[in-house]
Amino acid sequence: MVLNNIEELLEKYENGETSLKEEQELKNYFSQETVAPHLEIYKPMFAYFLVNQQEQFTKDVPLIPIAIETKKVFNYKWISVAAVAVLMLGVYLKSTINNDLGTIQDPELAFNEVSKSLEMISKNFNKGTSTISYLEEYDKGASTLGYLNEIEKGTSIIFKKNQ
């Protein structure tokens, strides 16, 4: 009677029509030591299912690293903010330094300073103009080129004749 029931269940089982409860019944039956000989082939299948139910995931999952990772992203954001702050500070400091031109308050001292620097300018200026004298040589050379005009006159006459 029990065997009949099991056979019926097996057929239903193969058609995918058994409920979870009925499947549990089958599993219980096949986990017994002795099973009807013609049903022996089902035994390893159900045994396999039962064994596999026991398998567990034993590896640890490191949940904390993720928290650190999000923290890192957080840091990057603030690094850019800090960079902008440093940049603006730099610009500010530079502009304040440029405002201080080193003005001299005492008029006599200022006069001396100005004449000194003007003297330096004129000295250097004279040095520059002295080198320009070489240009005269160039002029001489250029004046000899005037003879070329004579040649051109000659050729122009020849061309007119040809035409």
Q: Interface with another protein includes 33 (CB under 8 A)?
A: no
How far apart CA 25 and CA 10 sit, in angstroms, is 10
How far apart CA 92 and CA 86 sit, in angstroms, is 10
Structure tokens at 135: 């240009």
Q: Interface with another protein includes 59 (CB under 8 A)?
A: yes
The interface region with another protein, picked from 39-47, 73-81, 90-98, 132-140 by CB under 8 A, is 39-47
Among 4, 15, 129, 131, binds another protein (CB under 8 A): 15
Contact indicator for 106, 100 with CB cutoff of 8 Å = no
Q: Interface with another protein includes 74 (CB under 8 A)?
A: no
Residues near another protein (CB under 8 A) are: 13-17, 20, 23-24, 40-45, 47-49, 51-53, 55-57, 59, 61, 63-64, 66
